[in-house]
A and B are shown apart, each in its own frame.
With several copies, the nearest count.
Chain A
């Protein structure tokens, strides 16, 4: 499971100042990857930066044995990653983590904040949209960001979506949680069915922690089960160091730790102890 993957593509997409790259890896990871899982990539040979970098799997092509990743340059690590050329080998542990539940029927509401959309791409991709009705709500900084984060690909996937931007440059002006509230306030379910019969409506979300907390609250208020994909600083990526924990409330009401890299990154929104500070 220690995998050398070959770089098939690694290039800036969209506006340069958005710094978003598309990385395609050929190798073993694709064989067993599931939406919501991630790879833990070694970005260089030096000890500075020291650690691997976790990046979500945004697309899976089992036939071509390729996974697609989108990353935004955030610091030294992602910057070094941009310098890796096509055909070079990178060391990537993965696929890691548990991933999203994949519904085979009913309706799925996806809520994404910023680059949190990337793992949701792979979820959309594997869903049978004939059997599951999907709608994506996606909030971002502005139009430039959304377009750079491969908005076209989303359109190509052919799912229903609505976007919001902070500056109103595209879609609704405001937060994606506003979109979610509005969506659930209509008498119809997002995908057009009566809300009373919406027993099979579920939600999945990825984005900043504050947003996920709000999304969870809204979903639970509406009796919609919601899965959230969390981020946390990681060292090992495989459950050995206990660096990346998330605090959850067990069935017995007691606080417990779960490892974001192992039991996560996808958690049941309800179990996360959002306000725990222990």
Chain B
């Protein structure tokens, strides 16, 4: 196990509004299973938080295979929100998550406003008791909800909630009505104006913004002359998308006062510094886990070294520095 808190007086505490984490390194929804898969390599107790796979009201089989296609420095996936559904999640997964000694963020996905309302109110009952004063960790229950608004809205022709500001605001407002948990609105990058989306979810009542979800992409097999993914299109993640993600974090930081969780191609501690300079208060590690299960730990120790070498006694000093004008 790597050591990453050498300097006793370095303050790793990360404040995302009322959500207070012991450090800024989170793992991303859909890339870290239900927290148990990576325990052989990296104890979740070292992480600021983990985000579980997107949960829907009912169980979902997801898309057929192939679900993965590799692209230059990127990965296309079309898992299609395979998940055990709310009931089984609460029964079989949440209890185990509470043993991991880290803050648990539950990612929720829906295909209608009702779906989101149902998930929010059901999960409210499992809220972690101490989510507004203490560091959220070592505590059972859910620390925050991350609302995945990149899902297609079945009632509106399948256009994703997250690509229209009005719909995005509505989804967040519905979740707000049904929970006291901190709400993280997860933005889709497949939009013309990310700042406008950030303002919309702020109006809806989001406490925190996370971005980016995957970029919509496609890859075609020239032998079969068909899309590689059974679902044809999929979400692009990994280092390839990092410049787009950093740009969006930078824009959202200027557009709204909400704290930001930055992600998208974040693979090394240098990338984590880049996202924090752009304006992220915390960072989330996704595809990088597949390349290197130790990535979250290496990012933690790199962040600390970067800060202490520059005499910053707190991780919070980094946030948004790239916006300084001189």
In the complex they form, do A and B come into direct contact, defined as C-beta atoms under 8 angstroms apart?
A: yes
Contacts from A to B (Cβ < 8 Å):
1-2, 42, 47-52, 91, 93, 232-247, 255-257, 262, 276-278
Interface assignment of B294: CB less than 8 Å from any CB of chain A:
yes
Cβ 8 A contact of B293, one of A2, A51, A247? A2
Whether A244 pairs with B68 at a CB distance below 8 angstroms is yes
Whether A93 pairs with B293 at a CB distance below 8 angstroms is yes
Judged by DSSP, the binding face of A is loop
Cβ 8 A contact of A49, one of B41, B65, B70, B79? B70
Which residues of chain A have C-beta atoms less than 8 A from B292's C-beta? 42, 91
Contacts from B to A (Cβ < 8 Å):
30-33, 37-38, 40-41, 53, 61-62, 64-75, 77, 79, 82, 238-240, 267, 287, 289-294
Judged by DSSP, the binding face of B is loop
Cβ 8 A contact of B239, one of A47, A243, A245, A278? A47
Whether A236 pairs with B66 at a CB distance below 8 angstroms is no
Which residues of chain B have C-beta atoms less than 8 A from A256's C-beta? 61
Which residues of chain A have C-beta atoms less than 8 A from B82's C-beta? 242, 245, 257
Whether B79 pairs with A236 at a CB distance below 8 angstroms is no
Whether A239 pairs with B62 at a CB distance below 8 angstroms is no
What is the distance, in angstroms, from B215's C-beta to the closest C-beta of chain A?
15
What is the distance, in angstroms, from A134's C-beta to the closest C-beta of chain B?
32
Whether B79 pairs with A243 at a CB distance below 8 angstroms is yes
A173 to B292: give the CA distance in the assembly, Å.
45
Cβ 8 A contact of B67, one of A233, A237, A277? A233
Q: Which 5 pairs of residues, A with B, have the shortest CB-CB distance?
A: A1-B40, A240-B33, A47-B73, A240-B37, A243-B68
15 residue pairs from A and B, CB less than 8 Å apart: A42-B291, A47-B73, A47-B239, A48-B72, A48-B239, A50-B71, A51-B70, A51-B291, A232-B66, A233-B70, A235-B290, A239-B37, A240-B38, A242-B79, A243-B68
Cβ 8 A contact of B290, one of A48, A51, A277? A51
Cβ 8 A contact of B62, one of A47, A236, A245? A245
A93 to B31: give the CA distance in the assembly, Å.
17
Given contacts A242-B53, A245-B82, contact A50 B239 (CB under 8 A): yes
Whether B31 pairs with A47 at a CB distance below 8 angstroms is no
A243 to B77: give the CA distance in the assembly, Å.
7
Whether B32 pairs with A243 at a CB distance below 8 angstroms is no
A47 to B82: give the CA distance in the assembly, Å.
27
Whether A257 pairs with B75 at a CB distance below 8 angstroms is no
What is the distance, in angstroms, from A236's C-beta to the closest C-beta of chain B?
5
